[in-house]
Amino acid sequence: MRVRIPRQRTDIERLDRPLPAGLPRPAPRVLRAPRPRGARSAEDALLDYRLVVARTLGRHRPTGEGTCVCGVPSPCPVRAHAARLLDWIRPERA
C-alpha cells in the first residue's frame, strides 16, 4: 500500500497559510499512521473484530419505548446479529 505523504504535506502547508479576510479556518484532518505490513496474528484480528462488534452493539441500544436508538422497532435486527456474532467469536470459557 502506498502512503500519500506529499498530499498530506500540502494539506498541512495549506492550513499554515494566512486566510483571506472573513473565511473560517477549516478543521485539520486527522493524519493516521499507515497499517503495518505483513500478516497479522489471529489474536489481533479477532480482537479488532470483537471491538467492531461491541461498538455496533453500543450504537444499537434499546430504548424505554420499545424501539432501538437507530429508530427501528424492537427487536433491532442489527443488534440481534451483532449479539450472535459476539457469542460466536467469544472465547470458550472453561
Q: How would DSSP label each residue in the chain?
A: ----HHHHHHHHHHHHSPPPTTPPPPPPPP-PPPPPPSPPPHHHHHHHHHHHHHHHHHHS-B-TTSBBTTSPBSSPHHHHHHHHHHHHHSPP--
- In the chain, the percentage of residues whose pLDDT exceeds 70 is 57
pLDDT tens digit string along 11-20?
555 555 666 6
**Farthest-apart Cα atoms in the chain, separation:** 67
pTM greater than 0.75 (yes/no): no
Beta bridge partners of 73: 67
Residue 36 has pLDDT above 80, yes or no: no
